Amino acid sequence: MKILVPVKRVVDYNVKVRVKKDETDVELDNVKMSMNPFDEIAVEEALRLKEKGIASEIIAVSIGLPEVQETIRNALAMGADSGIFVNCTSKLEPLSVAKILTSICNKIKPDLVIMGKQAIDDDMNATGQMLSAMLNWGQATFASKLEIQDKKIKVGREIDGGIENIEVNLPAIVTTDLRLNEPRYASLPNIMKAKRKPIDEMKVEDLNIDIEPRLEILKVEEPKSREAGIMVKSVDEMIEKLKNEAKVI
Amino acid sequence: MKTLVVVDHNNNKLEKSTLNTIKAAIQLENVDLLVLSDSCKDICNELINIKNINNIFINENDAFKNQLAEDSANFIAENFKDYANILFSNTSNGKNIAPRLAGLIDTMIIPDVIEIVDKQTFKRPIYAGNAIATCKSKNKINIITIRATAFEEAEIGNDNVGKIKEIGNLNVNNLSKYLDSELTKSERPELTSADIVVSGGRGLGSAENFQILEKLADKLGAAMGASRAAVDAGYVPNDWQVGQTGKIVAPNLYIAVGISGAIQHLAGMKDSKVIIGINKDEEAPIFSISDYGLAEDLFKAVPEMESKIN
Ligand SMILES: Cc1cc2nc3c(=O)[nH]c(=O)nc-3n(C[C@H](O)[C@H](O)[C@H](O)COP(=O)(O)OP(=O)(O)OC[C@H]3O[C@@H](n4cnc5c(N)ncnc54)[C@H](O)[C@@H]3O)c2cc1C
């Protein structure tokens, strides 16, 4: 079984992002970049399926500027077998990414795509579902448990009321939630080994896909800030404030 | 120009955020509602008196009981081709179905909208709410999910009663199948629409210790929430998680106990009207957004608070 894992390079989750003065975007110069945490979970899950003897090959794909190859290398260092780098200099939105991934899936024919439920930069939560629609495959979003049986995959999904279990025919798309697993760190020997693993490069122009954005970003601004509050000294003072000042209890 | 709201529900009851989504839709134009369920009657009873809607379309099919994205998205793509806007609540159902529909009809989804500037311009949070993006849509059809806490509820009245009409035929998908679910049972108010939320973090230390918070919640008639760390540690169920990748809440009062205040957590609760933080570390970031902070051990402060509130 062949698994494709799309990985995205994003601002590290520990960075407090700031809006640029001209309000065109957030500040991206000199900030730490990392693999989207949900994609790390996706890579980890693919590796576990390989270690169980269910998967035979794991391919990591990333789309964007040459820097995204670092993210592919991270996935290779965790244990993925090979990478695909789609060189693309224009801004991408989930719709375009899903189209590019569709074209790659049609070419390499994976049995399963495991990907993050959302990227922590644009918080879209969309690419996996869009890709499933375009391929006409089944989807299992927000996965916190996953089991493969024959040509089917059983997935526990985190939903608003708890957990829902569904069964999807393969090939399928799974999007990962936080509780699916805890990703491993790449060991030094594996980081060295990853340098020799192959990354296939393609240019987005060669795929003949319309990637013109449909959403034009007019402005990126700071959210409304909260006024600073006060520290109280005791539970009594807290209750008094809540009753008489805030009037919420 | 017509606007469709896809109603979220659990087959018996309306999911409350649908009312906020309808309110947002009314800012667009000519609102119709769509109910897909194995039994639409009770849900329609809740919808029939909402002001400013035109039609309530329904399709009753056993397959809709579990709202698989493959079925719902196909059905909507087939039957609502002439709509300019299709809105969902940003719930787990909405997040599952809406992007699939967008993929089917080659539209870029506009998720988690907090403000409708005009008919093609929308605001949405990015980077865990640390920035707000204003997006102008070039889509022919806008597929939008609405953040409930950013909109009021649609008004209920007796005038302008919507008309119920059956629509379409579902070809049941053979890609996916519902098996079962493990739903968290609770007598407390629903987390995303509660007036008061009591939330606990890693500082609670164990599942048993959460009981001291639950006692406070019950005294206040509050819903329970949690940080990711508390959920990951198995103290509480996953559907209690508040934050960037959990639920978004904006109650009148949010009580954060033993929660440090990571940006990912703040993303889910910083629009609450009043926030109080209880944390033994006086440097904890939660205090920077708390209206009232108390730097004390929670195992002392919470029982005391519970006993003194009447
Ligand atoms: C991709 C991604 C998504 C995430 N999504 C979310 C999300 O949606 N929601 C979310 O909450 N987090 C999320 N996180 C995690 C987030 O970064 C933090 O790790 C998490 O919120 C920390 O939880 P906490 O505050 O309970 O734990 P900690 O940060 O460990 O804080 C515990 C606090 O308890 C206090 N404490 C301990 N003992 C006591 C005591 N006896 N009395 C009083 N105070 C005490 C400590 O001083 C400390 O401040 C996400 C992270 C990533 C990477």
Residues B141-154: tens digit of each pLDDT? 999 999 999 999 99
Q: What CATH number did the domain enclosing B116 receive?
A: 3.40.50.620
Q: Are B208 and B100 in contact (CB under 8 A)?
A: no
Whether B212 is in a domain gets the answer yes
B154/B302 same-domain check: no
Whether B186 is in a domain gets the answer no
Residues of chain A contacting residue B10, judged by C-beta atoms under 8 Å apart? 161
Chain segment B51-75, per-residue pLDDT in tens: 999 999 999 999 999 999 999 999 9
Q: What is the pLDDT of residue B161?
A: 66
Q: What CATH number did the domain enclosing B291 receive?
A: 3.40.50.1220
Range of the domain at B270: 191-308
Could you give the number of structural domains in chain B? 2
B205: left (phi over 0), alpha (psi -120 to 50) or beta: left
B138/B199 same-domain check: no
3-state secondary structure chain B: CCEEEECCECCCCECCHHHHHHHHHHCCCCEEEEEEECCCHHHHHHHCCECCCCEEEEEECHHHHHCCHHHHHHHHHHHCCCCCEEEEECCHHHHHHHHHHHHHCCCCCEEEECEEEECCEEEEEEHHHCEEEEEEECCCCEEEEECHHHCCCCCECCCCCCEEEECCCCCCCCCEEEEEEEECCCCCCCHHHCCEEEEECHHHCCCCCHHHHHHHHHHHCCEEEECHHHHHCCCCCHHHEECCCCECCCCCEEEEECCCCCHHHHCCCCCCCEEEEECCCCCCHHHHHCCEEECCCHHHHHHHHHHHCC
Among A31, A177, A214, A239, the residue to mutate for chain B (most B Cβ within 10 A): A214
Whether B173 is in a domain gets the answer no
Domain boundary among the residues B121, B150, B166 is at: B166
Domain boundary among the residues B126, B149, B166 is at: B166
Cβ neighbourhood burial of A6 (10 Å; 0-12, 13-18, 19+): buried
Read off the pLDDT of each residue in A189-209 and give the average, rounded to a whole number: 97
Residues of chain B contacting residue A162, judged by C-beta atoms under 8 Å apart? 181-184, 237-239
Q: What is the pLDDT of residue B310?
A: 84
Residues of chain B contacting residue A234, judged by C-beta atoms under 8 Å apart? 294
Residue B131 touches partner A, C-beta closer than 8 Å: yes
B134/B56 same-domain check: yes
Chain segment A25-42, per-residue pLDDT in tens: 999 999 999 999 999 999
Read off the pLDDT of each residue in A54-82 and give the average, rounded to a whole number: 98
Q: What are the structural domains of chain A? A: 2-245 (3.40.50.620)
Predicted TM-score (pTM) of this structure: 0.97
Please determine, for residue B159, whether its predicted confidence score (pLDDT) is greater than 70.
no
Please determine, for residue A171, whether its predicted confidence score (pLDDT) is greater than 70.
yes
The reply to whether ipTM tops 0.90 is yes
Whether B181 is in a domain gets the answer no
Read off the pLDDT of each residue in A103-115 and give the average, rounded to a whole number: 98
Please determine, for residue B290, whether its predicted confidence score (pLDDT) is greater than 80.
yes
Question: Do the chains contact at B130 and A142, CB–CB below 8 Å?
Answer: no
Question: Do the chains contact at B134 and A140, CB–CB below 8 Å?
Answer: no
Among B96, B120, B142, the residue to mutate for chain A (most A Cβ within 10 A): B96
List the single residue in A with minimal CA-CA distance to B131: A222
Please determine, for residue B97, whether its predicted confidence score (pLDDT) is greater than 90.
yes
Whether B179 is in a domain gets the answer no
d(CA B127, CA B149) in angstroms, rounded, equals 18
Chain segment B189-245, per-residue pLDDT in tens: 999 999 999 999 999 999 999 999 999 999 999 999 999 999 999 999 999 999 999
Q: What is the position in ligand 1's atom list of the atom closest to the CA of B242?
A: 9
Whether B172 is in a domain gets the answer no
Q: What is the pLDDT of residue B160?
A: 58
Find the helix or strand (DSSP H, E) in which A43 lies: helix A37-51
Q: Are A235 and B304 in contact (CB under 8 A)?
A: yes
Which residues are registered as beta bridge partners of A231?
A: B293
Structure tokens, A117: 């439920």
List the single residue in B with minimal CA-CA distance to A132: B100
Chain segment B102-121, per-residue pLDDT in tens: 999 999 999 999 999 999 99
- Dihedral sign from CA coordinates of A223, A227, A231, A232: negative
B25/B134 same-domain check: yes
B103/B25 same-domain check: yes
B291/B248 same-domain check: yes
Interface of B with A in 215-274 (CB under 8 A): 220, 228, 231-232, 237-239, 244-245, 247, 252-253, 263-264, 270, 273-274
Q: Distance from the CA of B201 to the center of ligand 1, in angstroms?
A: 6
Which residues are registered as beta bridge partners of A62?
A: A85
Cα distance from A193 to chain B (closest Cα, Å)?
A: 32
B63/B206 same-domain check: no
Q: What is the pLDDT of residue A227?
A: 84
B65/B210 same-domain check: no
Average pLDDT in chain A: 97
CB-closest option in A19, A124, A126 to B131: A19
Structure tokens, A190: 């594996």
Average pLDDT in chain B: 96
B18/B159 same-domain check: yes
B289/B195 same-domain check: yes
Chain segment B1-34, per-residue pLDDT in tens: 999 999 999 999 999 999 999 999 999 989 999 9
B129/B228 same-domain check: no
Question: Do the chains contact at A130 and B273, CB–CB below 8 Å?
Answer: no
Q: What is the position in ligand 1's atom list of the atom closest to the CA of B230?
A: 26
d(CA B226, CA B235) in angstroms, rounded, equals 9
Question: Do the chains contact at A158 and B92, CB–CB below 8 Å?
Answer: yes
Give CA separation, A170 vs A97, A112, B248, in Å: 21, 7, 33
Question: Do the chains contact at B291 and A246, CB–CB below 8 Å?
Answer: yes
Ligand 1 pocket list (CB less than 6 A): A 13, 37, 120; B 201-203, 227-230, 241-246, 258-260, 262, 264-265, 268, 279-281, 284, 297-299
B202: left (phi over 0), alpha (psi -120 to 50) or beta: alpha
B70/B202 same-domain check: no
Q: What is the pLDDT of residue B154?
A: 96
